[in-house]
Chain A
Amino acid sequence: MKRSLFVLAAILLAQGGSFLPSAADLPAGWTPAGAESYEGEGLYGYINGGSEVFLQYGFRRAEVGRYEKDAAGTTREITLDIYQMGSPREAFGIFSLRREGGEPSADLGGFPNWASPEQASLAAGPFFVNVIGHKATAEDIGAFLKLAGKRLAGAGARAFFLDEEKGPWSGLPSEGLRPETVRYIQGPLAAQGESEVLAADFWGFDSGTEAASARYGADGLKLVIVEFKTVPPGLLDRVGSVFGEHLSDVRAANGALSARDRAGRVFLFGLRGRRAGLVFGKTDEAAAGSLLRAALTPK
Chain B
Amino acid sequence: MDHDEILELTGEKTAHLPEAVSRRGFFKLGAAGAAGAAGLALARSLRAQDKPAGHKPPAQPPAEIRTNVDEIKAIPRTGESMPGRFPGRVVKVATGQVRAGGEIDAARVEKAVARGMAELTGESDLAKAWAQFVAPKDIVGIKVNPIGGKTISTKPEVVEAILAGLAAAGVPKANIVIWDRRLHQMTEAGFTAARFPGIALAGTEMKGPNDDFYDEAGELWAKDNIDREAPFYFADLEMPYNKDLLAAMINQGRESYFTKIVTRKVTKIINVPILKNAGGTVTLCLKNLSYGSLSNTSRLHKIWAKSVAEPNGFPCLRDKVVLNVVDALQAQYDKGPGANPQFVYDANFLLFGTDPVAIDAVAHDDLVKVRIEKGVQPFDAPRNREFLDLAAGLGLGIAQRDNIRLQETVL
Contacts and interface: CB of A to CB of B under 8 A. Distances in A.
B334 interface: yes
B248 interface: yes
B110 to A, nearest CB: 22
Contacts of B21: 237, 240-241, 243-244, 250, 252, 257
A239 B49 CA distance: 13
Interface string B77-109: 000000000000000000000000010000000
Contacts of B248: 42, 44-45
A74 B283 CA distance: 31
Interface stretch (A1-9, A19-27, A165-173, A197-205): A197-205
A193 B17 contact: no
A13 interface: no
A248 B377 CA distance: 16
A41 to B, nearest CB: 5
Contacts of B58: 202, 232-234
Contacts, number: 263
B16 A293 contact: no
A15 interface: no
Contact of A252 (B18, B48, B338): B18
A6 B65 CA distance: 40
Interface stretch (A85-93, A148-156, A269-277): A269-277
A73 to B, nearest CB: 12
B45 A286 contact: no
Interface string A258-299: 100101010110111110000011001110111011001110
Nearest to A135: B102
A233 B49 contact: no
B241 A245 contact: no
Max chain B Cβ within 10 angstroms of own Cβ: one of A236, A288, A297: A236
A104 interface: no
Contacts of A248: 26
B16 A255 contact: yes
A201 B9 CA distance: 30
A267 B377 CA distance: 12
Nearest to B29: A251
A247 B379 contact: yes
A246 B385 CA distance: 14
A14 interface: no
Contact of A48 (B149, B291, B334): B291
A58 interface: no
A119 interface: yes
Given A237-B18, A251-B7, A268-B6, A196 B41 contact: no
Given A116-B341, A235-B49, A246 B151 contact: no
A28 interface: no
Contacts of B30: 251
A265 B151 contact: no
Given A39-B244, A201-B59, A273-B48, A193 B334 contact: yes
B51 to A, nearest CB: 10
A263 B158 CA distance: 36
B111 interface: no
B210 interface: no
A38 interface: yes
What is the size category of the interface that chain B forms with chain A? 35 or more
B249 interface: yes
Contact of B378 (A51, A197, A288): A197
A173 B334 CA distance: 27
A284 B3 CA distance: 9
Interface in A55-89: 74, 77, 79
B76 interface: no
Contact of A52 (B27, B280, B301, B379): B301
A67 B8 CA distance: 59
Contact of B342 (A79, A100, A202, A254): A100
Contacts of A97: 335
Nearest to A292: B42
Contacts of A117: 341
Contact of B26 (A44, A132, A250, A256): A250
A280 B372 CA distance: 12
A256 B13 CA distance: 12
A119 B242 contact: no
A286 B58 CA distance: 34
Contacts of B279: 189, 192-193, 199
A288 B7 CA distance: 11
Contacts of B197: none
A255 to B, nearest CB: 4
Given A74-B102, A243-B26, 14 more contacts: A44-B248, A45-B245, A77-B150, A132-B341, A196-B280, A207-B59, A236-B18, A238-B20, A251-B4, A253-B8, A254-B7, A254-B8, A293-B40, A298-B45
Counting from the closest, the 4 A-B pairs by CB-CB distance are A50-B338, A240-B18, A45-B248, A254-B43
18 contacts: A41-B241, A49-B337, A50-B338, A79-B149, A99-B342, A116-B342, A196-B280, A196-B378, A236-B16, A240-B19, A248-B26, A254-B14, A256-B6, A258-B7, A270-B49, A273-B49, A281-B375, A285-B2
